[in-house]
A and B are shown apart, each in its own frame.
Chain A
Amino acid sequence: MKLSFFLIAAFGLAAVIRSNAAPLSEAQVTEMKNQVNYRAESEADRAARLGDRVRGADVLRTGEKSLAEMEFEDKTITRLGPQSVFSFKSAEREFQVKEGLGLFCMPKGSGGGRIVTAAITAAIEGTTVLALAAGKIVFLEGTGKVFTNDGRQQHAIRGGEIAFLEKGQLVVRPIALQPILRSRFLRSRPRQLPTTPLILAVAREQENGGVGDINDPAGRNESLIVPLLNREFSGNRPPLLP
């Protein structure tokens, strides 16, 4: 009886926490380079300005060699690359990368969200994700889930992995982060992402072996921890005596 009560209470609490995910009401444009256009709902395109507030159904569009960065009220940071088109659905907390590429840095406890590309969707919270509109999603750090847009296939994913469709199958593969981190899109921005230390930790683990390492997919950090755990350091001799 007590157990049932606790289970019901736990599920109830989880439901309350889940339902507390506030809608994404608006984002403020915090950085712009070159040509960035903003189109408010039912208005014509105009040049975007720093401080513009992008709301649901508004569209932000970047031109060639341009980028834009926005920050939502829940501190989610969205950076758009060149020739990209972005909008979002407020109530569903859904980010849509319709063209180009986007970087999303969503803090933990914000209520989560979804990133939608042409082929696949990622469910995220407390993660940093790079999404190509054509249908590739890279988790730079954190964990999440990816789905095909028809919802028929899904896959867990974590930092240092990429999801894409291959011959109709949703696949998740390890990917080397260092080349991505060296890109101009990620580095050399005036403002550092708050999750940069976590991203660098994943990249370092990839290089050093261990968590996130393709050669240690169990993520058991075997080469670093296990020698002290399992090898008979306290028994480097034949067990002659019990």
Chain B
Amino acid sequence: MKLSLCILLGGLVMTGAATLRAADTNVEDASEFDQMLTAGVKSEPWGEVSSDTRVYRSTNIQLLPDNLFYPERADTVVAQTFTVRLQHHLSDAVLAELILRYQLYRYLNTESLDFNTQSATFQLSGEIPDLFRWYGNFTAQRQEFVRGRDGEFFKMYNPEFGIWRDLVLNRHLTLFGGYQLDWRPSSPGFFDRVDNTLYAGCTVALLDRLSAQLLYRLSLHDYTNYRDRFDVNQLGGITLFYTFCANARVELFVNYIHNDSNLATRDYDIWEGGGALRLSFNF
């Protein structure tokens, strides 16, 4: 009886060891890898269409200093953005993109301020290996009221240049930072401004599909055509991303913005918090 048990156990151990060894050594050879790689290669898409829907609460929709003469007004905002992006590599190192955006901003209570935005951007971007990535673009944008006012109320042309890089510290933590220069000649002309922006942040992978991003942005707004106005604008934000797949994602975000201007009537603070759904399709 004991002998039978020993033989049985011995057989099980040997079978287990053989199975383990087979699994351990049965690695793919070059031809299997070749098939795997062939199947995994993706052709470069021509572009993308996407939809970004944001619903959030803002404590100060008109960016006012909240005093007797300029009280803050809070409201719920629905911001819907449709984007079409076409892309083409001009060379190994330079990518050209044409980006068309149509945005709708709707206020739950302050409907008289509802407006739409249309913009077109041509962008070149690339990478200086091991140093940073760069982008330069030109955007033309117009905004128009939806109701009760006289249509277009704002236009701007925005040459922009930026560099940024990221640093993967480990599988959970990526740091990023960059600089961006914007020159924004506008109509009416008193909106003309030059922005110098520095930003830094980190992305933390909390779970397989859940990430958190912390961002700090410091932006200096030099209004070149209005009473020497100069603003120091700071933003701190945290966003949670849940990614269903590369083409569908939801977000929850909270931002705090503090604007310190040399014109007292242009100081303001804002808290924003809400959610977003982003869907995209590549073609």
Contact = CB atoms under 8 A, between A and B. Distances in A.
Contacts of A242: 188, 190-191, 223, 226, 229
Nearest to B160: A230
Nearest to B103: A231
Interface in B164-182: 164, 166, 168, 170-171, 174, 176, 180
A198 B217 CA distance: 26
B170 A197 contact: yes
Contacts of A197: 168, 170-171
A100 to B, nearest CB: 5
A111 interface: no
Contact of B249 (A66, A156, A221, A223): A223
Contacts of B111: none
Contacts of B266: 241
A66 B63 contact: no
Interface string B247-258: 001000001010
Nearest to A201: B168
A136 interface: yes
A56 interface: no
Contacts of B280: 209, 215, 223
B197 interface: yes
Contacts of A188: 23-24
A208 to B, nearest CB: 5
A224 B40 contact: no
Contacts of B33: 81, 101, 130, 132, 183, 185
A158 B246 CA distance: 20
B43 A173 contact: yes
Interface string B183-215: 000001011000001010101010001010101
Nearest to A238: B115
10 contacts: A132-B33, A134-B30, A172-B92, A183-B27, A183-B33, A207-B245, A208-B211, A225-B213, A233-B272, A236-B105
Given A81-B29, A221-B166, A224-B203, A236 B235 contact: no
Contacts of B89: 217
B215 A200 contact: no
Contact of B153 (A201, A220, A238): A238
Interface residues of B, number: 92
Given A179-B40, A228-B255, A240 B62 contact: yes
A234 B63 contact: yes
A214 B87 contact: no
Interface string A136-179: 10100001000000000001101000100000000011111101
Contacts of B243: 207-209
Contacts of B220: none
B79 A217 contact: no
Contacts of A162: 37, 40-41
Interface residues of A, number: 72
A183 B36 contact: yes
Q: Which 5 A-B pairs give the minimum distances between C-beta atoms?
A: A197-B171, A218-B125, A242-B190, A82-B29, A33-B25
Given A208-B246, A223-B278, A239 B40 contact: no
Contacts of A132: 30, 33-34, 37
A113 to B, nearest CB: 16
Nearest to A130: B33
Contacts of A220: 125, 133, 135, 164
Given A132-B37, A180-B36, A208-B241, 17 more contacts: A33-B24, A101-B30, A180-B40, A209-B246, A215-B280, A217-B95, A218-B126, A221-B166, A221-B176, A223-B278, A225-B213, A225-B215, A229-B197, A233-B235, A234-B235, A236-B77, A242-B188
Given A143-B130, A229-B180, A236 B61 contact: yes
Contact of B34 (A136, A156, A201, A240): A136
A83 B33 CA distance: 12
A2 interface: no
A142 B102 CA distance: 37
Contact of A233 (B44, B201, B255): B255
